[in-house]
Amino acid sequence: MGKIFNDINKIGDVKGALLLSLKGKIIYKEFSSSFSLHEGLEKRDWAPMLGALSGVKEADLVFEGGKLYLRRFSSGYLLILMGILAPAAMVRLSCNLLLPSLEEKVAPKRGFMRFFKPDL
């Protein structure tokens, strides 16, 4: 799944990407080598934030130290961590291109295998 996020991680000042389930569990994570705060993000409980943003399709959150871009799709949420100087429009465009292949990989399987999917 790492190849899917290559285009987003190549954008300047992007710190990493998290793929979260609808319940807030981390499905996949990838951070740049220069980003040192990833340990705190991995231990964080994302469910309260996702619950507060339950009706939101996408959100661009700006803080003092950086930005978060959150995008909801059928199987969960895509969270992109960015520095202040990251081009939000370029990240949004890359996410639009990424979502179809991401939904294909994360979406529940059809047929008999759907009964054996993990509880995300």
pTM for the predicted model, two decimal places: 0.78
Domain span holding position 54: 2-116
3 state DSSP class of 66 = coil
Count of the separate structural domains present in the chain: 1
Could you report the per-residue pLDDT of 1-53, keeping only the tens digit for each? 667 777 777 888 888 888 888 888 888 888 876 666 656 677 778 888 888 88
CATH for 66: 3.30.450.30
Token pair 């799944």: residue: 1
User: Does pLDDT of 85 surpass 80?
Assistant: yes
pLDDT at 2: 64
Residues 87, 11 contacting (CB under 8 angstroms): yes
Which residues 6+ apart lie within 8 Å of 85 measured at CB? Answer: 12, 13
Pairing of strands 14-21, 26-31: antiparallel
